[in-house]
Structure 1
């Protein structure tokens, strides 16, 4: 049964395969969290030591005192896995800065292409909201592209209340309690 877990080296091979799927979609260099991670760590993911360093960096990003790129905030990343199969990622930003309030929100999630349309995003959101509540995030802002019908349905199904559209982003507030 799939579940959210903290990043782990146990899913190395499956993770690398999933990132190739995201790259094939054009996610490298697209400005998204996945795209930024592909750009920063992708060249080292194939090697066990490079992947282990990436996992350590993700776990360190949970802590407020960690030095991070300007404009980034503390973020807890969870991976949605089924055994040793990486299915997706779920990120909880601990607070909002100006950019996140307008565009990114508290929560971001991605499901690898080969695992889509099976309810994984819905399950990740349901389970991830519990983690967000434990971090003191309530309600959580979640955004999606205006033309991303699948993500919109996931957010609305998770209790998201539409606030507005800003540019290409739809903004929803989702209770975590």
Structure 2
């Protein structure tokens, strides 16, 4: 049964396969976490260990990504040694994240889509967000992204606003 786990070197082969799937998929833009990595460099186990260490450090003020502007907890949705998706919980919001991005962003690898992983992954992340002090998670999606809308609404998301083509939802974390 899939579960949210901390990023781990154990999933290097599956992570790299997922990155290749994201690059090969033409139905959606490549997620930022995929465009942020050099797959060729990460084939080296030491380099991948450094990548995992960096992602885990992003949970702290000292280790946060400068382009994110907030600490975030990245978790991987995995079953055994297979990475099915990834999710990031932003500990707080900047004005930009309030408009685009929100508290939680998630991606399911193309080969694992349409199996309910995004809905289950978000449901599993809500208690983690609550433990981080997020009392109501803001999630955003494009108005044309009906799949993401269904995922958010299945997890109790209540539509707050429509800003251009962005929908903003409040999802309870408790």
Asked if TM exceeds 0.5, the reply is: yes
The correspondence of residues 46-85 of structure 1 with structure 2, limited to 5 A, is 46-66=43-63, 68-85=65-82
Contact 2:134–2:173 (8 Å) recurs in 1: yes
CA shift in 2, pair 1:36/1:95, >3 Å: farther
Q: Do residues 34 (structure 1) and 33 (structure 2) align? A: yes
Unpaired runs of 5+ in structure 2?
Answer: none
- Separation (CA, whole Å) in 1 of partners of 2:169 and 2:157: 5
- Separation (CA, whole Å) in 2 of partners of 1:13 and 1:97: 34
Q: Do residues 117 (structure 1) and 107 (structure 2) align? A: no
TM-score normalised by the chain length of structure 2: 0.93
Per-residue CA deviations over 1:51-78 (Å, capped at 9, x if unaligned) read: 1111000000001222532452100000
- Separation (CA, whole Å) in 1 of partners of 2:51 and 2:63: 14
- Separation (CA, whole Å) in 2 of partners of 1:99 and 1:43: 32
RMSD: 1.9
Cross-structure match for 1:2: 2
Aligned residues: 174
Q: Do residues 136 (structure 1) and 133 (structure 2) align? A: yes
Per-residue CA deviations over 1:74-133 (Å, capped at 9, x if unaligned) read: 000000000000000010000000110010100000000000010100110110001000
4+ residue runs over 6 A deviation? none
Cross-structure match for 2:86: 89
1:150 Cα offset (Å): 0.6
Cross-structure match for 2:157: 160
- Separation (CA, whole Å) in 2 of partners of 1:172 and 1:67: 25
TM-score normalised by the chain length of structure 1: 0.92
Per-residue CA deviations over 1:14-68 (Å, capped at 9, x if unaligned) read: 11000011111369xx684324423xx4342221111111100000000122253
